[in-house]
């Protein structure tokens, strides 16, 4: 169940981050409300995850997936298309998360 909660936390964080730009510095009401509720939900689910998954592993997955998904969503929503160095960097981040998950014995 922890990975379901982690997926929910990541999805809420990615949505909230996308709406953070749309809130224009919290000057737009609806996007600002989405940000506040979304981040609250994201951290709630992350807190449930941390009961069973080590914080380093959970945060690596959260951050890596979040970076990749926010980048994709920003490219689609705001036309902020990453260049080759950004894509390579994201690939390295994802590779790092995979290495931690596959080979680390953190407990």
Sequence spans of domains, the chain: 2-103
pLDDT at res. 107 = 54
pTM: 0.89
Radius of gyration of the chain (CA): 15
Is there a contact between 49 and 9 (Cβ–Cβ < 8 Å)? Answer: yes
Q: 12 Cβ partners below 8 Å, 6+ apart?
A: 38, 39, 41, 42, 45
Q: Is 14 helix (H, G, I), strand (E, B) or coil?
A: helix
Q: Is 79 helix (H, G, I), strand (E, B) or coil?
A: coil
Could you list the pLDDT tens digit for every one of the 107 residues in the chain?
999 999 999 999 999 999 999 999 999 999 999 999 999 999 999 999 999 999 989 999 999 999 999 999 999 999 999 999 999 999 999 999 889 888 888 75
């Amino acid at each position: 169940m922890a990975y379901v909660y982690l997926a929910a936390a990541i999805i809420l964080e990615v949505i909230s981050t996308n709406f953070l730009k749309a809130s224009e510095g919290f000057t737009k009401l609806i996007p600002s409300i989405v940000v506040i509720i979304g981040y609250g939900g994201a951290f709630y689910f992350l807190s449930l995850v941390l009961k069973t998954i080590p914080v380093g592993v959970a945060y690596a997955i959260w951050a890596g997936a979040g970076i990749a998904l926010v980048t994709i969503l920003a490219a689609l929503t705001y036309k902020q298309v990453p260049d080759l160095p950004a894509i390579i960097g994201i690939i390295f981040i994802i590779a790092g998360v995979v290495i931690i998950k596959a080979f680390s014995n953190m407990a």
